[in-house]
A and B are shown apart, each in its own frame.
Chain A
């Protein structure tokens, strides 16, 4: 009996027990489709983070006050010191000192309540300079950004984040030209930022009120020249570490510190990408692990049904043996049947996963990117499961003696 005949006999046997075959495949179908989908979701999440970060600027360096590790081993938190000043930012912007720096935007932040008539909204005030949109890769949805002269004069103007604008101005009227009051100071809204869709360190990039640093200092009553963050844009991603070195040595000189006593720290978006990807990978491995367990359960289901099938068809096996089927032929027949069940389940699972990948993003707002390798792997796995869990039932069928098999009722 050649392989083609065996394959045909296997397909016949599966077809003649349609319902049972479908129920058997169900475990494999669910397992395969959930493995493909979870891996796809994980990949999708990684792609999403990557694109968000690159939208923020992959060549961005963030200079924060406070050192990453103090001599006592205690990490200096964000804003725990106010050692960075506007002068530091201006020094970094000097192209002769830091040639690999494209742009610099210092920013000082505080929280305050914005009032528009009876509506109020607490958000973060960002005081900065005119280079901010370029360095932070932000664009305006409406209006304009403030100018250098507005910065030097401390003009009462503000640019709102898209979420902030929609919280304060609910009507159809454009916020541009309207007035919001902060700590008793009326500010004219001159622009609204486009949504970035991204968030960093827990605060939404779309919920903030950006204004000239001089204005922000006046409102908060601060007289110091300190800033909370200096954003530095390197000329390209390739010179990121060169820019990092330049800024480090410049600030070491200005602050008269060494690497061990540094009162500032520099981080990059790339380190955030690495962290986010590591988190995603952990989640993906976890979920895929759970899905793999369901696949295993599906495989055991195949074995269970194949054993039932051997018992149920004991007379058929006896007859085939009496008519001249050698034990290895019987073993092969049951093995082929189990593999076909596994493979068919795997193929249906792949189809469902592909369908799910079309539907799911709309339901849970998460992208799913299916990989060819994972899909091919899943099909192969389903085949291996079928064979693996078919071996035992098949060898049991092969071991039956024809006399006993024929006698059984």
Chain B
């Protein structure tokens, strides 16, 4: 584990990260010492079967949880021992989430779903609306800004969620099984969108158990029993 500050442009840098869950006297080690770096502009897929620890890794990468041991530098900032309120602030500024279940609020229209992270960032109402609409245009839903999630298809809903992840211009976009609830046509549309975002320079971390989805990424990290067992570039993946 290197203690010298990194001179590179690593967005994510994990060193010796362990996560242990305790339930009474039973201990379960979900992550057993993870070291990894993700550079600016990379498109990385974290692949592994269920129970491999990839959800735990996703929670740590998303600053939804603290590691039990080790350090996590996100954009050069050590977030491993931050309080809940501090983590909320980091998530808001640095991370854009895309979830398997979309997690859109049914009572709000598309643009008002997209503006949510900007509300917590303290952006003014006029600017929020402008940026939300621009993000929706970016994902090809410029004509659906006033529609509620119930009036949109699954693929469209996930694109609204991608717009919400984009709107704050985060350091990384963290997509957790983003196509798990979609049919093949919508899957293709969402993955195509992620390809486009990658080409425009975004850093994307995709978590999946599907190998054909992982194959769209530039680099695959395979996780098994809480350890990274393989870290390889993908031949024929997204444009380098």
Contacts and interface: CB of A to CB of B under 8 A. Distances in A.
Contacts of A315: 103
Contacts of A403: 59, 64-65
A320 B91 contact: no
Given A1-B120, A5-B119, A325 B103 contact: no
A406 B105 contact: no
Given A1-B122, A328-B85, A322 B107 contact: no
A97 to B, nearest CB: 86
Nearest to A398: B84
B105 A327 contact: no
**Chain B residues touching A, range:** 20 to 34
A403 B99 CA distance: 12
B91 to A, nearest CB: 5
Given A1-B119, A315-B103, A319-B105, A326 B65 contact: no
B120 A327 contact: no
Interface string A7-18: 000001100100
A44 interface: no
Interface string A377-409: 000000000000000000000000111001000
Given A321-B88, A322-B97, A406-B99, A329 B120 contact: yes
Given A315-B103, A403-B59, A324 B64 contact: no
A326 B108 CA distance: 21
Contact of B91 (A5, A322, A401): A322
B84 A327 contact: yes
A235 to B, nearest CB: 73
Interface string B99-123: 1000101011000000011011110
A323 interface: yes
A319 B103 contact: yes
A402 to B, nearest CB: 5
Contacts of A324: 88-89, 91-93, 117, 120-121
B67 interface: no
Q: Among B88, B92, B122, which residue has the most Cβ atoms of chain A within 10 A?
A: B88
Given A12-B107, A16-B107, A315-B103, A322 B120 contact: no
B59 A316 contact: no
A75 B221 CA distance: 102
B62 interface: yes
Nearest to A12: B107
B89 A326 contact: yes
A316 B88 CA distance: 15
A323 B117 contact: yes
Nearest to A409: B101
Interface in A7-36: 12-13, 16
Interface in B36-88: 59, 62, 64-65, 84-85, 88
Interface in A324-343: 324-329
A322 B107 CA distance: 18
A191 B131 CA distance: 90
Contacts of A1: 119-120, 122
B119 A326 contact: no
Nearest to A323: B117
Contacts of B97: 322-323
A322 B95 CA distance: 9
Contacts of A406: 99, 103
Nearest to A4: B125
B59 to A, nearest CB: 5
A220 to B, nearest CB: 85
A315 B97 CA distance: 14
Given A320-B116, A403-B65, A326 B88 contact: yes
A325 B105 CA distance: 15
Interface in B117-141: 117, 119-122
Interface in A109-167: none
Q: Among A1, A316, A328, A403, which residue has the most Cβ atoms of chain B within 10 A?
A: A403
Contacts of A319: 103, 105, 116
Given A1-B120, A12-B107, A316-B105, A322 B89 contact: no
Contacts of A323: 91-92, 97, 116-117, 120, 164
Given A328-B85, A406-B99, A322 B105 contact: no
Q: Among A316, A321, A326, A329, which residue has the most Cβ atoms of chain B within 10 A?
A: A326
Interface string A308-322: 000000011011111
A394 to B, nearest CB: 16
A327 B84 CA distance: 8
A329 B117 CA distance: 13
10 contacts: A16-B107, A322-B62, A322-B64, A324-B117, A324-B120, A326-B85, A326-B120, A327-B88, A328-B85, A329-B88
Interface of B: 59, 62, 64-65, 84-85, 88-89, 91-93, 97, 99, 103, 105, 107-108, 116-117, 119-122, 164
Q: Which 8 A-B pairs have the closest CB atoms?
A: A324-B92, A324-B120, A16-B107, A326-B88, A326-B85, A323-B117, A319-B103, A403-B64
